[in-house]
Amino acid sequence: MSSSELSTKHILGIKYLTKEDINLIFETADNFKEVINRPIKKVPSLRDVTVANLFFENSTRTRISFELAEKRLSADVVNFSASSSSVKKGETLLDTVNNILSMKVDMVVMRHPAPGAHAFLARHIDANIINAGDGTHEHPTQALLDAFSIREQLGDLSGKKIAIFGDILHSRVAMSNIFCLQKLGAKVRVCGPPTLIPKHIPQLGVEVSYDVKDTLEWCDVANILRIQLERQDIKYIPTLREYSKYYGIDKKLLDSLDSEVIIMHPGPINRGVEISSDVADSKQSIILQQVENGVAVRMAVLFLLAAKRST
């Protein structure tokens, strides 16, 4: 049984959610998934609620996914994009956001390159805040939609084996996934080059492997992350060619396994680097379902926070 209300005012990270919160979001997302497959996809739940999408870092799919979710809930939406360079020019995050809030915004969806930027903001402003990615810290709605997609395929996640491949060190998706999957009772393993795996990650109760084939044999689901070259300030791997050769996943490798593994990827894909095209487009892949579920899950999150707001 899940409760009918979230335990928090903000979605700053999966870390700060309870298992009940996550299940409530999933049940709500089930309903919205049905809604967005109707001919008329719009519901009035967020009428008179103004949502600001503040993206201090580039994003295409997350921004569009949030915007769609907001519009299908009939919210008023404003978009703000700033590259980190224009922020460097002088105006602080607090100034920018205070300016926007002076225009009476109820909810803020923010992506920001600094870990904890949302926690900083939450101490200063009154609106509900949804973290759409803060540096290498968390990306909670991505983890929710990933777990929601796995749940759709495998049912209850308890005891399921999920492997996360790639650049764990620079990945907020990896961190949020680990927290989310563990809260739901799944077993998590990370796999990638040793330079891209945080030394202390086993302390989170996560298994570590450097062997892609062995990990694919172990897991039910393979969540393959993008190599984030833009987050690497120094060289952690020699070349993409070598990465692809030893850590990339292709059809031949998948076919050599005894069982069929579900393939996920949070996008955008570097085809031919971490994942080959024939894997990305195979029937094992649920990459496009993830995108669809993203809208439903984000609608659920927005809806539940707005409900909390009105109580």
Partner 1 sequence: MLLVKNVHIIEPTSKYHGKKVDLLIKKGKIDRIKARIQSDKYNVYDAKGACMSIGWMDIGVQVGDPGLEHREDLESVAKAAMAGGFTAIACYPNTNPSIHSKSEVLYIKNNTSDSLVRFYPIGAASRNCKGEEMTEIYDMHESGAVAFSDGTKSIQNSGLMMRTLQYVKAFGGLVMNHPHDKQVGNSGQMHEGLTSVNLGMKGIPSLAEELMTQRDIYLAEYTESKLHVLNISTARATNLIKQAKSKGIQVTTSVPAINLALDDSLVESFQARYKVLPPLREKSDIKALKRGLKNGTIDCITSNHIPWDGDAKNLEYSRAEFGSIGLETVFAICNTHLKSVLSLEALIEKLSRNPREILGIPVPKIEEGAIANLTLFDPLEEWTFTKEAIYSKSKNTPFIGTTFTGKVLGLINQKQSWFRS
Tell me which residue of 69, 59, 61, 62 sits closest to 306, measured CA to CA: 69
Q: Report the residue number, 70 or 134, with the smaller CB distance to partner 1.
A: 134
CB of 7 to partner 1, least distance (A): 18
Tell me which residue of 260, 255, 238 sits closest to 247, measured CA to CA: 238
User: Which member of 15, 61, 161, 308 binds partner 1 (CB under 8 A)?
Assistant: 15
Identify residues 255-284 at the interface with partner 1 (CB under 8 A). Answer: none
User: Which member of 78, 94, 257, 288 binds partner 1 (CB under 8 A)?
Assistant: 94
User: Which member of 1, 38, 89, 92 binds partner 1 (CB under 8 A)?
Assistant: 92
Q: Report the residue number, 14 or 24, with the smaller CB distance to partner 1.
A: 14
Q: Report the residue number, 227 or 254, with the smaller CB distance to partner 1.
A: 227
CB of 286 to partner 1, least distance (A): 25
The residues annotated with a catalytic role in the active site are 61-62, 89, 111, 139
The verdict on 172 binding partner 1 (CB under 8 A) reads yes
Q: How far is CA 60 from CA 83, 162, 166, 276, 291, in A?
A: 13, 26, 21, 22, 12
The verdict on 115 binding partner 1 (CB under 8 A) reads yes
CB of 258 to partner 1, least distance (A): 33
Distance, C-alpha 121 to centroid of its chain = 20
User: Which member of 25, 75, 93, 108 binds partner 1 (CB under 8 A)?
Assistant: 93
User: Which member of 45, 61, 116, 292 binds partner 1 (CB under 8 A)?
Assistant: 116
Tokens 């487009």, residue? 281
The verdict on 119 binding partner 1 (CB under 8 A) reads yes
Contacts of residue 74, defined as CB under 8 A and 6 or more positions apart, other chains included, come to 42, 43, 44, 45, 46, 47
Determine the longest span between alpha carbons in the chain, in angstroms: 59
CB burial class (10 A; 0-12, 13-18, 19+) of residue 259? Answer: exposed
d(CA 225, CA 172): 10
The verdict on 112 binding partner 1 (CB under 8 A) reads yes
CB of 224 to partner 1, least distance (A): 19
The verdict on 233 binding partner 1 (CB under 8 A) reads yes
The verdict on 137 binding partner 1 (CB under 8 A) reads yes
Q: Report the residue number, 113 or 272, with the smaller CB distance to partner 1.
A: 113
Identify residues 188-217 at the interface with partner 1 (CB under 8 A). Answer: 198-201, 203-204
Stretch that binds partner 1, among 30-38, 86-94, 149-157, 282-290 (CB under 8 A): 86-94
Binding site for partner 1 (CB under 8 A): 15, 92-94, 112, 114-117, 119-120, 134-138, 172, 175, 198-201, 203-204, 233-234
